[in-house]
Amino acid sequence: MKKYEEAKEIFAGRNSYSKTDHDATFMHMKEDRMKNGQLKPGYNIQAATTNQYVVDFALYPNPTDFKTLEPFLEQMTTLDKFDKIVADAGYGSEYNYSMLEEEYSDKQYYIPYTMYEKEQTRKYKNDPTKLANWFYDEQGDYYLDQNGVRFSFKHYSRRKDKTTGQVRYNPNWQYLKEKAKAVLQSPEGRYIYSMRKYDVEPIFGHLKNVFGMRRTHLRGKKKVETDIGIAFMMMNLSKYWNRRWPKDQSSLCENKNNKEKDGQAAQIKSWIDRLLVSES
């Protein structure tokens, strides 16, 4: 019994945990070489960027993104310096929209809901069975489908009929989706959201392909945060160097002796290794 109680305490509301790292949760990874949907212990990295610089990050044990938005915004120390919040459809939910409306009303958010991209397709727009394609009269409180059939509000009910279909309508969720759609389809919204993939996505590609960090060799959330934090710090410094250093000076640096470069790289690696050992 004690064994099960200890395991329940380690779970902490999750569905799984790793025996070698109790803070990690089993989740599907994007890189699946076996193509069998295998689960691996890991963390969900959340990062906030501006101009491809990482301004904040955090690690979470849950694989879904929409549950991480609220705690991530709460722990951000630089949030007051920004007036826009941009994220992909993984964060678009009624709870997150309501939270942003209530707690961050001074900021404009550009976050599509899950079905937003699909609703923009021709096939979806021409589908007469989709509720989004029906006309809704707010004053009369009724829907009108593409065949002219009127669906009026009758009463609230919890009954589920097997022989007839159902039309579910959530006025608050519908209002929030329409507002998000209007923002995203405005000229400013189209431009700002289109820049998201050029801002935040490259940092993860840079982390994997340039720094070669596809996994961490440390265990425990605190140590993994240190490992990821050092990598993001190095990325920011290298990007700052490349952007601020003149091209003519860069060309001079490229002509330097390779041995000197190797010596500097080895010195930096040694410093990082000592830092990681001290953290552990």
pLDDT by residue, tens only, the chain of 280 residues: 777 677 666 677 777 877 888 888 888 887 777 777 788 888 999 999 999 999 999 999 888 888 999 999 999 988 999 999 999 999 999 999 999 999 999 999 999 999 999 888 888 888 888 877 888 877 887 888 888 888 877 766 554 445 555 666 678 888 999 999 999 999 999 999 999 989 998 999 888 888 888 888 889 889 999 999 999 999 999 888 888 775 555 555 555 555 555 555 555 555 555 554 444 4
Cβ-based neighbours of 127, under 8 Å, separated by 6 or more: 133
Name the CA radius of gyration of the chain, rounded: 25
One domain, residues 189 and 150: yes
Residue 179 has a CB neighbour count (10 Å cut-off) of 13
One domain, residues 245 and 188: no
pLDDT, position 269: 53
Map residue 66 onto helix, strand or coil. coil
One domain, residues 132 and 172: yes
Q: How far apart are CA 19 and CA 59, in angstroms?
A: 19
Map residue 86 onto helix, strand or coil. strand
Per-residue CA distances from 51 to 34, 227, 239, 240 (Å): 35, 23, 10, 11
pLDDT, position 278: 47
Amino acid letter for position 168 = R
Per-residue CA distances from 9 to 44, 223, 224 (Å): 21, 21, 21
Q: Are 175 and 162 in contact (CB under 8 A)?
A: no
pLDDT, position 15: 78
Whether 44 is in a domain gets the answer no
Whether 230 is in a domain gets the answer yes
φ, ψ for residue 43 (rounded to 5)?
Answer: -125, 155
pLDDT, position 23: 81
pTM for this prediction: 0.75
Whether 59 is in a domain gets the answer no
Tokens of 190: 């189209």
One domain, residues 138 and 186: yes
pLDDT, position 16: 80
One domain, residues 242 and 191: no
Whether 93 is in a domain gets the answer no
Residue 214 has a CB neighbour count (10 Å cut-off) of 10
Q: How far apart are CA 199 and CA 258, in angstroms?
A: 32
φ, ψ for residue 45 (rounded to 5)?
Answer: -85, 125
Whether 157 is in a domain gets the answer yes
By residue range, what is the domain housing residue 184?
116-197
Tokens of 109: 């958010």
One domain, residues 193 and 259: no
- Chosen domain end from 137, 162, 197: 197
Q: Are 184 and 193 in contact (CB under 8 A)?
A: yes
Structural domain count of the chain: 2
Whether 103 is in a domain gets the answer no
Kindly report the length of the chain: 280
Whether 151 is in a domain gets the answer yes
CA dihedral 271, 272, 273, 279 (to 10 degrees): 110
pLDDT, position 156: 63
Report the b/e string of 89-108 with b at 16+ CB within 10 A: bebbbbebbeebeeeeeeee
Whether 178 is in a domain gets the answer yes
One domain, residues 120 and 192: yes
pLDDT, position 224: 93
